[in-house]
Amino acid sequence: MEFTAEQYNFPDEPARFFLMDATRSGLPVDVLHAFEGGSATMRVRLLSLFPILDAGGPEATRAEVVTLLNDLCLLAPAALIDPSIRWEPIDERSARVEYTVGSNTISAVLLFNQEGELVDFVSNDRLAASADSSEFTRQRWSTPVGEYRPFGPLRVMSRGEGRWHPPEGEFAYIELELMDLEVNGGAP
């Protein structure tokens, strides 16, 4: 299903808002992932009116903390010097990072190419939701990066995937292309 999305991240808060507009079976669907005030929610509406899903709670919040760290790594690496983030080198091209938001501490392994660009983010702390979002299961999640390009003076990822790694075999559940990037309300 193709979609367009706008995302707003506020590393200092931390807060994240991801609004997706899509079409499913010819009908418009709106999705809002929101992390604010230390908790996360996900709302899906058909025709912008009829609720299909309204999920939240500790499991959704923990999953969103992993996404917050992933966004910082991919889109705002300068924010990774925050005291809530701890680093542990693994080897020349990888490091483990821990991130704490509220009562949630999550970790990920970051893999870098020869140029020092992040090429994959792998975490075992993401929780996969059941089809109705009533149950969550811890599952490996990764975001391999396909390419980088300049956005103003910044060079950041421009293509990537979100991949789940269940026991029956990994799969890409989302493919993304970054079309535009603004920093602090203006062009980068």
Is the pTM higher than 0.95?
A: no
Give dist(CA 129, CA 149) in Å, integer: 32
Give Cβ neighbours of residue 92 (< 8 Å, ≥ 6 apart): none
Q: List the chain pLDDT tens, one digit each, 188 residues.
A: 788 899 999 988 899 999 999 888 888 999 999 999 999 998 999 888 888 888 888 888 998 999 999 999 998 888 899 888 999 999 999 999 999 999 999 999 999 999 999 999 999 998 887 777 677 788 999 999 989 999 988 888 999 999 999 999 999 989 999 999 888 755 45
Pull the structure tokens for residue 136: 């969550």
Give Cβ neighbours of residue 26 (< 8 Å, ≥ 6 apart): none
Tokens 């009908």 correspond to: 27
Q: Which whole-number Å values give the CA distances from 118 to 35, 79, 177, in the listed order?
A: 24, 15, 16
Give pLDDT, residue 133: 66
**What residues pair up with 111 in beta bridges, in sequence order?**
94, 120
Give dist(CA 95, CA 112) in Å, integer: 9
Give pLDDT, residue 37: 92
Backbone angles phi, psi at 71, to 5 degrees: -60, -40
Give pLDDT, residue 185: 58
Give dist(CA 47, CA 64) in Å, integer: 25
